[in-house]
Structure formats: structure tokens, C-alpha cells
Amino acid sequence: MTTAATPSPSPSRSLSDLVADGVVLVDGGMGTLLQDMGLDDGGSGELWNLDRPDAVRDAHRAYAEAGARVLTTNTFGGTRPRLEMHGLADRVHEVNEAGARLARKEADRVGALVAGDLGPTGELMAPLGTLEPADVQELFAAQLRGLVAGGIDLVLIETMSDAAEAEAALAAAREVAPELPVVVTFSFDTNLHTMMGLDPAEAVRRLAAAGADAVGANCGRGPEEMTRIAAAMVAARPDGLLLIAQSNAGLPQVVGDHFEYDATPADMAAHAVALRDAGIDMVGACCGSTPAHLAAMSDALR
């Protein structure tokens, strides 16, 4: 068992403080912004934490200035299997610590919190694959040691489809940073189920029982479907659990030689209000979103 790392100093306000003031606005998609800045399709956005830190910090700054009060580290693909695809398997700690420090600098400017981002490993767990829960927990723990060293305030386990993988990530968070709140989101993009067959109500119940502080949904097929998912989560919520929803900015459409998502800032603003009114505590955006979407959401929620 690895001992917990010592986190860097964090803002005086906590996630519970922010939630007490009303719905918390989380930031939007990072990949969209980095691609606009020149990230090649299939390239490692996480490597930009080391090679192009100013660009990553600019993205965080844009979301902070748009009103986001939780900034998500640029570490979605920061586990060893994901980084190994880009020849970076030996730089897990370095990539993740750098990502956390970049977000930390911008968060401190506006009094925001930093969420250390853990995305799926891309590996299948037994019995469909070969990885056991302890193996997956260690992959996430290695990533988290770097994030904690960089000064995160909470852990965001996102875009999960397998409850067992999410539980392994949650166990890693409790091992490495037991004092930090943990938020878990799933992608319900297959007829209101995850790819592994999990529905929103069961996701809420299972991860709440595992000890998550907040559970919810991200990505998906756009605001309309996310509203239905949110209603199912609210109905299943046990006392004391926070809920989070971060929809894609609609669906991608081919425009010339690239994709554009079809939900406008006004669409996402109306969606944010609907989520708040439904009882969601943390609202953000995902793929295809930009600071313009977040700014409209921030204005609407105020």
C-alpha cells in the first residue's frame, strides 16, 4: 500500500463552500480548445502540459474568465496505458504534476478550485479483460500522486462506462488523497446506458455506496438527453450526495473540413438553468464546448 502524498496548498474555499452558495459552474471541454490551437488529431494533449504549457494555461484562463469555478486539469489521458500510446509511459508523474500546476495558477487568480482529471485507462477489466481491480487502482494511484503534488482540490473521475473501473479509481483517490472530495461521472451514450450497460440510477446508487461525494454524467448526445439523465439521477439520489452534469455542446456536424457541435451558447445557457432547477449541484460542459458556452451558462445561472 502506498502512503498518501502531501497536497500543495489549496484555496481557503472548498467544494462544500461553493455548493452552499448555489449551483457550481464547472468548466468545459479542453480538447476542443487545444485542437483549435493546433493539436493534431490523435496527438497527446497531455504532452502539452510539458511542451506547450502557455497554451494549456491560456485554455484554463479562458474558462476561469468565463465564470467557471472548477477548473479541470488537462490530464484526461494521464494514466500509463494512455500515455504509453504516445511514448510517455515513464512520464506519468511529470505530466500530471505539470497539468495540476498549470490549472492551479489560473484557479488561484479567481478563487476557483482545481479538479484532478482521471479518464478511463482504455483497458478492459476482468472478466472481459485481464486487469484486476488492484491493477487498475495502482494505475490511477500513480496518476494521482502527480496530480496531488501539483495541488488539486478534488478528484474528478470522468467519462466512465464500467462501474468497476470507476470504483477502482475511487479507491485510488481514497488511498492517495483521502482528504479530497471525489466526483465520478459516467457517459450514458447508448440508449441512456453506458457502453457496459449501466443506467443513471444504478450508477448513482452504486458509486454513492462506494463513497463518492458526487456522482453524475458527462459527454453523451447533447442537452436534451442529459436532461433526461439528470432527472433519473435526481430520483435515485441518496441523502447527502451531490449531483453533476456536463453535457456535450450538442452533436458534431460536418462543416467544411471539420466538425462543429450544434448547441449554441444560448442553448447551453438554457440547459444549465434547467439542470439547476432539476436539482443538479454542479453544472458544466464537455466535448464541443468553448468559453463562449461557459460564459453564457454563467450569465444565465446568475
Binding residues for Zn(2+): 219, 286-287
Q: Sign of the C-alpha dihedral, residues 292, 249, 152, 70?
A: positive
Could you tell me which residues are annotated as the binding site?
219, 286-287
72 Rama class: left (phi>0) / alpha (psi -120 to 50) / beta: beta
Task: For residues 43 and 38, give the distance between their C-alpha atoms in angstroms, rounded to a whole number.
Answer: 10
Which candidate, 129, 123, 126, 31, places its Cα nearest to that of 80? 123
For β-strands 24-25 and 70-72, DSSP reports them as unpaired
Closest by CA to 94, choosing from 173, 157, 147, 154, is: 147
CA distance 113 to 107: 6
Within 8 A by CB and 6+ apart from 28, the residues are 63, 68, 246, 249, 284, 285, 286, 289, 290, 291, 293, 294
DSSP assignments along 237-292, one per residue? PPTT-EEEEEE-SS-EEEETTEEEES--HHHHHHHHHHHHHHT-SEEEE-TT--HH
Residue with cell 450569465: 299
User: What is the distance between the alpha carbons of residues 217 and 206, in angstroms, rounded to a whole number?
Assistant: 14
β-pair partners for 153 = none
